[in-house]
Amino acid sequence: MHIDKDLVAASATPLVLALLADGESYGYAILKRVRALSGGDLEWTDGMLYPLLHRLRRLGYVTTEWRTPPEGRRRQYYMITDDGRAALAEQHRQWVAVTRALNDVWPGSGRMLAAAGEA
């Protein structure tokens, strides 16, 4: 299933924040989890994750720290802040509202899949 580019972009922020709410992580690990969660349906261009992460840092939703794991290369870890958790909760409310509204208008679950396929 191919998911529309705008939808991917819109869901990126809450996805990343939600993953970081589970615990600190770094770029490649975040991307791998997104891929696993969506079964490959969410097609991210790997590189684009980093400008997004840096934007979250500028907004104060995450903090970063360079660390070198015992065996491995130096890498940047991202940790969610309280502001980030608040933003995540807000996003959560908005997405719930959107999906509830959509659920109300979808005539049936069978038609819903067809509609998503057309989109």
Interacting residues with other proteins (CB under 8 A) = 26-28, 31, 45-48, 50-51, 54-55, 58, 65-66, 68, 73-76
Nearer to other proteins, 59 or 102 (CB): 59
Minimum distance, C-beta of residue 102 to other proteins, in the bound complex (Å): 29
Ordered DSSP codes for 52-108? HHHHHHHTTSEEEEEE--SSS--EEEEEE-HHHHHHHHHHHHHHHHHHHHHHHH-S-
- Return d(Cα 41, Cα 61) in angstroms, integer: 26
Minimum distance, C-beta of residue 106 to other proteins, in the bound complex (Å): 33
Nearer to other proteins, 45 or 109 (CB): 45
Cα 31 from chain centroid?
A: 9
Minimum distance, C-beta of residue 115 to other proteins, in the bound complex (Å): 29
Nearer to other proteins, 79 or 114 (CB): 79
Q: In terms of Cα–Cα distance, which of 1, 42, 2 is closest to 13?
A: 42
Q: In terms of Cα–Cα distance, which of 60, 61, 66, 58 is closest to 27?
A: 66
Minimum distance, C-beta of residue 34 to other proteins, in the bound complex (Å): 13
Nearer to other proteins, 38 or 116 (CB): 38
